[in-house]
Structure 1
Amino acid sequence: MPDPDLADLDAFVAVARARSFRGAARLKGMSASALSEALRRLEARLGSRLLNRTTRSVTPTEAGAQLLERIAPAIREIGSALEAVNGSPDVPAGTLRLNAPTVVARHILPSIVSRFLLAHPRISLEVENNDSFIDVLAEGFDAGIRYEESVERDMVAVPIGPRMQRYVLAASPAYLAARGVPEHPRDLLAHACIRHRFASRVTAQWEFERDGETIRIVPSGQLIATSAELEAQAAIAGLGLICTFEEYLAEGLATGALVPLLEDWLPPFSGPRLYYAQRQHMPPPLRAFIDFIKVDNG
């Protein structure tokens, strides 16, 4: 059996990740029919079906999922090596792919990204929001950004953005006038709370800590959402209490539309970290970004 063509393997990885021929075609800058033909050749050479295709979805078969897990990092490394050869050693060039939580992508990365790209005009940056912990290399990213408790131990991690952040519990003055001001985390069980649900379908608990005591609350209320901005607006409208990153509530707190509560029960925590696998040949765009944020963080 002849060895599969590298371009066909690359096409398979693109379609398997995008779960769509059209979506992969947009990302690759080629036609969906060309990708389909590449998949047909690859499956014929391997003698195994790699993707289940319906009119609504494209999903890897068991064999396809196993192949994707094994070859996706290798395809990425080959691309990085080619970019390194094509670029000048003194002027890093190529594409940097990052995966970051929504709060980081919206409130921390914008100023960092703008200054980095202005300083490195030959680097392109792709940022994807994801609030779940994923295998960044298997998913085709050069690095991820997560909080300390979510960073795998075999990864290298460096701080990015603020060294400390905090959650804020808050409510509108109108809500507090009608329902009273909670004096202790357990009081929240008698209050309407605006809840956040992650993409994993898990609804967030609220955690409070003071003097070595930790209290976890399972909040209840009318609204469950996946959008922190929607939740903040609901709190301003008086629908209930909200507990989330301070960044999402900053405007409401500054104008008095929201009032902070139980502040001594919500200590600050370590800010986000950029994490990546240690490798002998690091892609030049990633090396440039790491050097940039190290200088940026002082």
Structure 2
Amino acid sequence: MQNNGSLDDLAIFHTVVREGGFRAASRRLGLAPSKISTTVARMEATLGVPLLRRTTRSVSTTDAGRTLADRIGPLLAGLDAARVEAAEGAERVTGRLKLNVPGAVMPDMLPPLFAAFHARHPEVEVEIVVENGIVDIVAAGCDAGIRYEDILAQDMVSVPVGPRVQQIALAAAPDYLRAQGMPATPRDLTEHQAIRYRLPDGPLLPWQLVEDGRTITVEPIPRLILGVNAIDTGLGFARAGIDIVATFRNWLEEDFAAGTLISVLPESWPSRSGPRLYYPSRHTPRPLRAFIEVCRDHDKS
């Protein structure tokens, strides 16, 4: 590509890939879909290889297109950050922040953080992608991710983004316990019905409890199995009297206070370290730096 608009062409192509199609890129950039399509076609003619596969319903990258998008993504992000910093100075933060997070942090951890973030930086657009597996956030086009410490990549920087320690609690509705009885020991749970969660294309999440100072795994009867992406929906089933649920204690405090759910074996609940925000050390765009600052301030409060 030897024309003066080549950098703009690359940005247009990358937006098509990131947004998943010409119309979405058109809305993002404020350009006509025909101009975007013409730009990509011109790039393909200049390079001599197809970059996109087009059907009436979808657009996907060829191998060459994916390689190009992966290489130019960090460069374009760096240029955008440099332009914003040069034009707007140190105080005003604009742009886009894209995070990849597990469902476990959605109901109660993120809302207060983003309330504080939007109060400070109202012009930043935030996109949250909810996934529970291990994700390469760079390849996924995200600025940062949130995960638990035991699965963080070693080459990432991380900061706390919630409670330093979380407890996994067991609970059941009064109707269930009247009908089935209250288990007296962790091993009694093997005779009880449970709401279980399954990892995407993987095993059920294990039930681990503490007994005599040791961590043990128990296998209750999995009468209801939910995908882990719906982890915050299990409480609704438990409140309806369907089985025992294992979930974060902080999600259960209101139910315990109201009596809609009863704690089960509280002396055996295990603890784990809380979630962390993680990101590559080599490039931190301004919206992400601003969000990290909010996380650190929230951690002090």
State whether residues 193 and 220 of structure 2, in contact with CA within 8 Å, keep that contact through their aligned partners in structure 1.
Answer: no
Alignment CA distance shift 1:34-1:158 (3 Å)? same
Matched, 1:190 2:195: no
Structure 2: where are the runs of 5+ without partners? none
Q: Secondary structure at the match of 1:178?
A: helix
Structure 1: where are the runs of 5+ without partners? none
Task: Flag as ranges the 4+ runs of structure 1 deviating above 6 A.
Answer: none
State whether residues 253 and 259 of structure 1, in contact with CA within 8 Å, keep that contact through their aligned partners in structure 2.
Answer: yes
What TM-score do the two structures reach when normalised by structure 2? Answer: 0.86
State whether residues 194 and 244 of structure 2, in contact with CA within 8 Å, keep that contact through their aligned partners in structure 1.
Answer: yes
Q: Output the amino acid matched with 1:2.
A: Q
Alignment CA distance shift 1:140-1:255 (3 Å)? same
Q: Secondary structure at the match of 2:208?
A: strand
What TM-score do the two structures reach when normalised by structure 1? Answer: 0.86
Question: Which string of whole-angstrom CA distances, capped at 9 and with x for unpartnered residues, describes residues 259-278 of structure 1?
Answer: 12132332222111111222
Alignment CA distance shift 1:181-1:287 (3 Å)? same
Give the stretch that moved more between structures: 29-38 or 256-265: 29-38
Question: Which string of whole-angstrom CA distances, capped at 9 and with x for unpartnered residues, describes residues 45-93 of structure 1?
Answer: 2222222222333222222222232222222222222221221124444
Give the stretch that moved more between structures: 180-189 or 168-177: 180-189
Residue in 2 that maps onto 1:163: 164
More strand by share: 2
State whether residues 205 and 217 of structure 1, in contact with CA within 8 Å, keep that contact through their aligned partners in structure 2.
Answer: no
Q: How many residues align?
A: 296
Alignment CA distance shift 1:49-1:253 (3 Å)? farther
Distance 2:226 2:166 in 1: 24
Matched, 1:130 2:122: no
Distance 2:32 2:203 in 1: 40
State whether residues 191 and 220 of structure 2, in contact with CA within 8 Å, keep that contact through their aligned partners in structure 1.
Answer: no
Give the stretch that moved more between structures: 129-138 or 118-127: 118-127
- 1:1-298 aligned at under 5 Å gives the runs 2=2, 5-198=6-199, 200-210=200-210, 211-215=213-217, 217=219, 220-225=222-227, 226-279=229-282, 282-298=284-300
Q: Secondary structure at the match of 2:256?
A: helix
Distance 2:188 2:16 in 1: 50
Distance 1:11 1:195 in 2: 44
State whether residues 148 and 274 of structure 2, in contact with CA within 8 Å, keep that contact through their aligned partners in structure 1.
Answer: yes
State whether residues 166 and 271 of structure 2, in contact with CA within 8 Å, keep that contact through their aligned partners in structure 1.
Answer: yes
Distance 1:196 1:21 in 2: 37
